[in-house]
Amino acid sequence: MPSPDTQPLPIDLLGAIDALRKQRNAVILAHYYQEPDIQDIADYIGDSLQLARAAQKTTADVILFCGVHFMAETAKILNPTRTVLIPDMAAGCSLADACPAPLLARMKAKNPDHKVVSYINCSAAVKAISDIICTSSNAERVVASFPADQPLIFAPDRNLGGYIAKKMNRPMLLWPGTCMVHETFSERRMIELKLKNPGSRIVAHPECEPSLLEKADFIGSTSALLDFVVKDPATTFIVATEPGILHQMQKSAPSKLLIPLPGIDETCACNECPHMKRNTLEKMYLALRDMQPELLMGEELRLAAKKPLDAMLALG
């Protein structure tokens, strides 16, 4: 009998994943930036907020989280009695990496009158020292939940924070983090594509640089961008976010022309998130077969990180 590591992969990977999902009583959650085959086999696809809610509500014994590490961590924080698996534990996030908790703690100590609003793209340790969490779909509502004279620190995405600060006319201290994918989008190509496609609409994720956001017709979370493309009467859309979202957009609006915005260097696929793309069907199969890699967290950290997440979820 070969050891588990040397067992060959089944030819029908999709069928094998489906069988294991039933055997393990597992639910597969996938973010919109996953490869199309992963999205198609998932039980639930969504943006960060929708996936956090789905993870909180599930009654399945196992959550296979096809996204990045902070998303799986959030699932564990909200639903600790479930086994949370992630196909590739190295699927990180440049925003989470940009904000080590001890440095944010120092910024807090220097500004003791400030409350800390942290974007969900951060580590559990950062969540634990934040007052409230937000996602790209509720950041405005979260910031508005504080009195107008309450000074705020916004971490770790300076682009989302800057966009909200400008829109709400509410200055905030911004942590200088960025998304390695959204910061590479090409403004020049955005202008060229718009000129080539008169009547097209530009949709952008708020993690994009301000100069790109200024040119967008609509700014929102991945699910909000999907919704806009489906409902807007325009027929052509220039999409300034990770191109994984195009799969659901095209499925929901098959007659529309969707143009993914390339990065500055068009010779690489740098508009694709290398972390999200670490997940594969093979790794999903192995995770369900071997019940690892499993996301584990100490109870003290979990409870501290849960408080600001609960504060966000309580806003509805």
Nearer to ligand 13P, 136 or 279 (CB): 136
73, 88, 131, 207: residue in contact with ligand 13P (rule CB under 6 A): 207
SS3 for 82-94 is: CEEECCCCCCCCH
The three-class DSSP label of residue 26 is strand
47 is a contact residue toward ligand 13P (CB under 6 A): yes
In 10 A of CB 12, how many CB atoms? 10
- Find which of ligand SF4, ligand 13P, none residue 73 binds, CB within 5 to 8 Å per kind: none
**Stretch touching ligand SF4 by CB under 6 A, among 3-11, 251-259, 269-277, 299-307:** 269-277
Tokens found for residue 183: 């910061």
Give the total of residues touching ligand SF4 (CB under 6 A).
13
The three-class DSSP label of residue 191 is helix
Which residues between 108 and 127 bind ligand SF4 (CB under 6 A)? Answer: 121
User: What is the layout of strands, in order, in the sheet containing 201-204?
Assistant: 218-219, 201-204, 236-240, 257-260
75, 179, 287, 305: residue in contact with ligand 13P (rule CB under 6 A): 179
Among the listed residues 241, 258, 257, 252, the one whose alpha carbon sits nearest the alpha carbon of residue 206: 241
74, 83, 123, 135: residue in contact with ligand 13P (rule CB under 6 A): 135
To ligand SF4, the closest distance from the beta carbon of 108 in angstroms equals 22
- Give, as one character, the DSSP assignment of residue 153: E
To ligand 13P, the closest distance from the beta carbon of 51 in angstroms equals 8
Q: Residues 271, 208: contact at Cβ < 8 Å?
A: no
Residues that bind ligand 13P (CB under 6 A): 32, 47-48, 121, 135-136, 179, 205, 207, 221-222
